[in-house]
Structure 1
Amino acid sequence: EVNHVIINLGVASRAVVVKTSFLCLTGVFLGSIAGMLLRHISPLPPDVIMIIAFPGEILMRMLKMLILPLVVSSLVTGLAGLDAKSSGRLGTRAMVYYMSTTVIAAVLGVILVLLIHPGNPKLRANLGLGKKNDEVSSVDAFFDLIRNLFPENLVQACFQQVRYS
């Protein structure tokens, strides 16, 4: 009887995987079709673009919110299963990897600053003043409320203070 229950759970989990995969692929397909169709429509108003982009923005904020806890918990779980000698070697490798990627990022940043010259007033003068939009629509204010429900960084959200005047 116990084996029968395990087999049924296996079949149920396969059905869930198949259904989830189907829904995911269908969403990707429909999103691609919608994107191709919307590209051929004359320029969309900014409000429509904001409404279309909103679900994706919320998804990205939720994914960013989950990254830090998942990485930390997986590292702690992985290191808890190792002995002291292995974790020492692993810690050394992780530190070397971290330091080398930091140095590469710093060098790349300096190279890009020298090539692009961000903040160069000569380049900014060629762009013009641009358009400043101080008006906030009610839809944008409502979306901002929902955006603030999903912070990108949980640690920052715990310590951040906001004052409204």
Structure 2
Amino acid sequence: MGIINFQGEREDQKKKFNEPISVRDHMTTKLVTLKPDQSLIEVINLFMENKITGAPVVDVAGRLVGIISDSDCMKQISEGRYFNMPIANMRVADYMTKEVQTIDPDKTIFDAAAEFFKTHHRRFPVIEDGELIGQISRKDVMLAALKMSSQNWY
């Protein structure tokens, strides 16, 4: 004798995936950007005012030329004290990272998470057609993940 199904017809267990998962959907577009000729004092003030830990550096045409973080500033504060050099004279261009790893806006947040894990960076500028259009951080990826239900992670 076979088993009789008393539950009736079952719904498909897989839900349709309709959550936005691209970097474009979760990146920050209102960026604080810096210029290469700004002083580190200005950078530190901007970081504190905006409660951020890093920012892209752009030229006069708005093209990405580098990135600077609170770690870069902290290093110069530490070394400045050791060598008795004030940071007021230090310029962004001399201390920014010039080889910047960027991410494509059409990559998924999963791709971004993998890149964050591999590189240990805290943010990636988002570039489209050579233009800086946003930035995605580790926090942005985690917030995107929280918005997704666990049934969608397959």
Which TM bucket (shorter chain)?
under 0.3
Query: Which structure has the larger Rg?
Result: 1
Report which of the two has the higher share of helix. Answer: 1
Higher relative contact order (CA 8 A, sep 6+): 1
Q: TM-score, normalised by structure 1?
A: 0.21
TM-score normalised over the length of structure 2: 0.22
